[in-house]
Structure 1
Amino acid sequence: MKLHVLAVASALAATLTFAGYVGAQQSGSVSALRNAAIDETNAIDDVYHQDEGRAPRNYRQQPPIIPHSSDQYQIDLRTNQCLTCHDWTTAGDRGAPTLSMTHYLDRNGTQLDTVAGTRWFCNQCHVPQADAPALIGNTFKPSSN
């Protein structure tokens, strides 16, 4: 009985392997990721830069945009590297903007000495500034009030 099951399994595996090979052959040519021949220089898109300083806000209560890269910043349950510059205890020495006092209020409105857990993950609201083309059209106009 075991020999029969093994023979059926082997025949099925061989059939699927052959079908996969035939499908791969019929799928067409593989396209390269390069947009030039291997011996030519590959053209790349422009690298976008970030402007220094604060970006204007488009509506009331808009979280400020981060004017620097934060790719290498560690933000997890134990560590928040944003606070090394922006916490109220260090912002003056570092020349960085201090966090809003709302970041030091818990959900009951109690004033805390440290950043509230509900405000711990900065990149929930704040995003790094990027001078990149828009992915889709945008007709947004900021409020004049």
Structure 2
Amino acid sequence: MKRLVLAVMAVGMMVAGAVQSAEALNNPGGIGGLESLRGGIELETTRAADPMKRYPRDQGTIDSDYVYQPPLIPHTIRNYEVSLNANKCLACHSWKNANEMGATKISVTHYQSPRKGQVLSDVSPSRYFCLQCHVPQADAKPLVENNFQRVDALR
């Protein structure tokens, strides 16, 4: 009985190998008919870079699409450093600098400890890396199609 099972498995593997060989002849790229966000291009093939995303200038406040959405950034952030040693965002948006720079102040929630709700004298370490939640609004086509609808109360 074991020999019969092994023989059937061996024949099945040979047939599968023949099918894969036939697919390789029909699809010489070897990507198996899959298509990624890069398109149907092999990884080894170099393609032209996508055009740079455009960030609208002087766009002003961008409306929220859902409740508790972090505000979107209405300007480019190219060359902004946000690291352990520096946070370019705070140069304009901290409570100390916002009025002088004409920028929106960061929320008081960014000065609270997330565990105990204690008010801190500086931005909470959990809120220091702005780009975890806030992203610039770009004039770019969506990567994937969707039918998201804005919350009715925010229209």
Unaligned stretches of 5+ residues in structure 2: 1-28, 30-43
Distance 2:79 2:138 in 1: 16
Taking the aligned partners of 2:68 and 2:47, their CA distance within structure 1 comes to 43
Q: Write the mapping of 1:1-145 to structure 2, written as runs, cut at 5 A.
A: 33=47, 48-51=54-57, 52-107=59-114, 108-145=116-153
Task: Provide TM-score, normalisation by structure 1.
Answer: 0.67
The one-letter amino acid of 1:94's match is: M
How far 1:99 moved relative to its partner?
0.3
Query: How much is the aligned-residue C-alpha RMSD, in angstroms?
Result: 2.2
Residues 109 and 31 (structure 1), Cα distance of their counterparts in 2 relative to 1, 3 Å cut: closer
Q: Distance in 2 between matches of 1:122 and 1:97?
A: 14
Work out the CA distance in 2 between the residues paired with 1:129 and 1:64: 10
Gaps of 5+ in 1: 1-26, 35-43
Cα drift, residue 46 of structure 1? 8.1
C-alpha contact (below 8 Å) 2:72/2:135 kept by paired residues: yes
Change in CA separation of 1:82 and 1:46 when aligned onto 2, cut-off 3 Å: closer
Kindly tell me the number of residue pairs found equivalent between the two proteins: 108
Moved over 3 A (4+): 30-34, 44-47
